[in-house]
Copies of this chain bind each other. A is one copy, B any other.
Amino acid sequence: MSLPPFQNFDRCCLHTMTTKPWSLSQAVAKYAAAGIKGITVWRQWLDGWELPAARRAIAEAGLAAVSVARGGFFPARTAQGRQQAIDDTRRAVDEAAAIGAPLLVLVCGADPGQPLAESRRQIEEAVSALLPHAQASGVTLAVEPLHPMYANDRSAINTLKQANDLCDRLAHPSLAVAVDVYHLWWDPDLREQILRCGRSGYLSAFHVCDWRTPTVDFLNDRGLMGEGCIPIREIRGWVEEAGFGGFIEVEIFSTRLWQMDQDQYLHKIKHAYLQYV
């Protein structure tokens, strides 16, 4: 790989979920003190906050509000269920706008009780319904393709090609894509689809972590960068080749790492970011 390593944290963003034991106030203070420049806020971290106060806390610490995670979970067997997901995601758009985040990440959902093709149709319908409100709010919706092991219940959008195709069909300036190495690293067409994603103007977020061998839990056993087999720097190279120069977001769900002292963990994250991203 000829791509140089990072020398600083100017493009580094952490997800509040990565340091799950910390509240929003703690995360903001700790990230800023560590020289991290961006934060992606999971919605539950906003519970109990007045949104303008959250916005001020983030901004006054010198952090960029990179995105809000997450809206979605659109498919449902009843019209009422589908409407609830749309309404909830509309509120997530409002929260992103209120804290100054330009992007809302969508985990699109799936319902194992209905055909995958139907879940995919419902996702497209819901995203389409939300786009005018997103645009009016100045928030871009970023469809995040999830690993095929989540196709049954977390997202029926499972490849970058699917996300790109969806963006092509809806052709809306407020619709984009989030690329996460955990979900996509295995894809033989990844480089080609990342380049397409950038060329089309969809590539709006880049998430990193690692895939451990063995992985013992479907949800909460992700690795810190360098602990697994994902060629993160190579994929970062493709993402930059595609024209992306935004934040690189560290998003790690790990019961094991949440059990660590989180100050020490933040130190390890910084080291791993410089060494492996």
Copies in the complex: 2
B213, A152: Cβ atoms under 8 Å? yes
Is A129 part of the contact surface with B, judged by Cβ < 8 Å? no
- Beta-carbon nearest neighbor of A231 in chain B: B115
Chain A contact residues: helix, strand, loop or mixed: loop
Residues of chain B within 8 A (CB-CB) of A185 are: 116, 151
Residues of chain B within 8 A (CB-CB) of A229 are: 112-113, 116, 152
Is A193 part of the contact surface with B, judged by Cβ < 8 Å? no
Min CB–CB distance A26 → chain B (angstroms): 31
Interface size of A as a range: 20 to 34
- Inter-chain CA distance A231–B185, complex, in Å, is 27
A153, B186: Cβ atoms under 8 Å? no
Residues of chain B within 8 A (CB-CB) of A149 are: 147-149, 215
Min CB–CB distance A188 → chain B (angstroms): 6
Min CB–CB distance A76 → chain B (angstroms): 15
Min CB–CB distance A114 → chain B (angstroms): 9
Per-position contact with B for A213-233: 1 when CB-CB < 8 Å, else 0?
A: 111101000000000110100
- Beta-carbon nearest neighbor of A190 in chain B: B116
Segment 96-121 of A: residues with Cβ below 8 Å from B:
112-113, 115-116, 120
B-contacting residues of A (Cβ < 8 Å)? 112-113, 115-116, 120, 147-149, 151-153, 158-159, 161-162, 185-188, 211, 213-216, 218, 228-229, 231, 234
